[in-house]
Amino acid sequence: MQLDQLYQEIILDHYKRPHGRGLRDADDPGDQVAEAHHVNPTCGDEVTVRVATDGTVLHDISYDGMGCSISQASASVLHELLRGRGAGEAFEVHEAFVELMSGRGQVTPDEDVLGDGVAFAGVARYPARVKCALLPWMAFKDAAARAGVGVSPEVKA
């Protein structure tokens, strides 16, 4: 196996220098704030994702957690990609990421949609690690739903 496909420079960069790490309160007191804590029971990785939103725009996505490079880098990329986006747009990115990770390496990612998330294309070829990459994204989905911005029903994740 090609280890560098899994551990792309982008992933290692996000792992070593995570963006936006740490749980934060909302800047705007009018925002709905909610969080979700997800664990991977097979390895013990944990992540908490917090969403602050006015119902239209995701003003902040903050997170904290402990785990492997893949799960922690994935949280950093999630923050980077979705913070400040409109909810509808954010869920399109979410859907694209889930599709990429479920594709067993057969899905060609669109860099315009996924940004640094394309680096995870290699991870999709390692079934044991797909859950690591998805952990923060699943926590995000739950947190967003609790903050009142649910995924529209036709989007399957």
Partner 1 sequence: MTSIAIPSGMPQYDNVPRFDVARVRADFPILGREINGHPLVYLDSANTSHKPRQVLDVLDEHYARHNANVSRSVHTLGTEATEAYEGARAKIAAFINAPSTDEVVFTKNSTEAINIVAYAFSNATLRPDADSRFRLGPGDEVVISEMEHHSNIVPWQLLCERTGATLRWFPVTDQGRLDESGLEDLVTERTKIVSLVHMSNILGTVNATSRITARVREVGALLLLDCSQSVPHLPIDVVDLDADYIVFTGHKMCGPTGIGVLWGRGELLAAMPPVFGGGSMIETVTMARSTFAAPPARFEAGTPPIAEAVALGAAVDYLTGIGMQAIQWHEKELTAYALDALGSVPDLRIFGPTVPVGRGGTISFALGDVHPHDVGQVLDSLGVQVRVGHHCAKPVCSRFGVPAMTRASFYLYTTTEEIDALVAGLEQVRKVFD
Residues at the site binding partner 1, with contacts judged by CB under 8 A: 1, 3, 6-7, 12, 42-46, 66-70, 72, 126, 129, 132
Which of 32, 69 has the CB closer to partner 1?
A: 69
Which of 96, 133 has the CB closer to partner 1?
A: 133
Please spell the DSSP secondary structure of 30-82, one letter per residue: TSEEEEEEEE-TTT--EEEEEEEESSSBEEEEEEEEE--HHHHHHHHHHHHHH
CB of 135 to partner 1, least distance (A): 11
Longest Cα–Cα distance in the chain: 50
CA end-to-end span of the chain = 28
CB of 85 to partner 1, least distance (A): 29
CB of 23 to partner 1, least distance (A): 18
